[in-house]
Chains A and B, each alone.
Chain A
Amino acid sequence: MWTFFSLGGFIAALLLPLHMVVASLAPSPVPEAYGIPFLKTSFSFRHFLYENPYAFVLPLPFFPVEVVGLVLKLYLVALLGGTAFHGLHRFKYTLFDFGLRKQKRALNVVLYGIAFAVSGMTFLALFP
């Protein structure tokens, strides 16, 4: 569990703020072309390459859409699963601090259960 928490902490710290800005706050959100709906409404890969000269510095856009899509899907599973593990682990200790230390076993089952469910649901939703 601690490994998941620690890894999730790194993922959440480095990737989550950007995801929040791009996926939820920016006026035009994330790629639908990669088979990930509701995260972007209009996106064209060729248009993106044409419009974005910086992308040529980085190798990923040269790969086929399927490969980039796979990377993006794995990224989302790691992001959401890792964030859930990290966040709920910290929340468990918040509840400890509020005096729920005796209910440790129940909290473990519920909170880590939710974190496993989030990871599993994201995986099932993105990988048919």
Chain B
Amino acid sequence: MATKTVYHRYRPHQSPLWFLSNRRYFAFMLRELAGLFIAVYAILIAVGLFAGRFHPVLPGPNGSIDVYASMAWLLKTRGFFVFTLISLAFACYHSLTWFDLFPQVTPIQIRGWKVPNRWVFGGMVALWIGLSLALYVVLYGGKLL
């Protein structure tokens, strides 16, 4: 008597919460999530600039609303302050993980000698801090001391 073999199609299954199973996966997802925060921050600022440029004054319930003044006020509200703090933490995490990743993606070689990854990471962090301080003084008109 011949037996009939039944084949079941293999269906890969992945839980939507797969990244909770391992710390490294979680760190990876956290880094991906940082992208959303920094994008939302950029979108909010861009929308505020655009709205203020083309509709400086909008009609409101108690007279007209100055859009730029409203944006300035919004940036100072407690909710937005907390959102920016969280976004800042995510942005810093995103930056540092990128600096860590950079020498692995594009190894730097000088005459056949590979620059150690830690040196590249340190260099990137130094560049980051230096550039931030320079821009703080030049573009934002800040004081160092």
Contact = CB atoms under 8 A, between A and B. Distances in A.
Contacts of A12: 38, 91, 94-95
Contacts of B131: 14-15
SS of A interface (majority):
helix
Contacts of B132: 14-15, 17-18
Contacts, number: 172
A73 B19 CA distance: 40
B68 A37 contact: yes
Given A25-B84, A99-B16, A90 B49 contact: no
A20 interface: yes
B121 to A, nearest CB: 12
Contacts of A128: 53
A1 B128 CA distance: 25
Nearest to B92: A17
B49 A126 contact: yes
Interface of A: 9, 12-18, 20-25, 29-31, 36-38, 40-41, 43, 48, 51-52, 54-55, 58, 60-61, 68, 71-72, 75-76, 79-81, 83-84, 86-91, 93-94, 97-99, 114-115, 118-119, 121-122, 124-126, 128
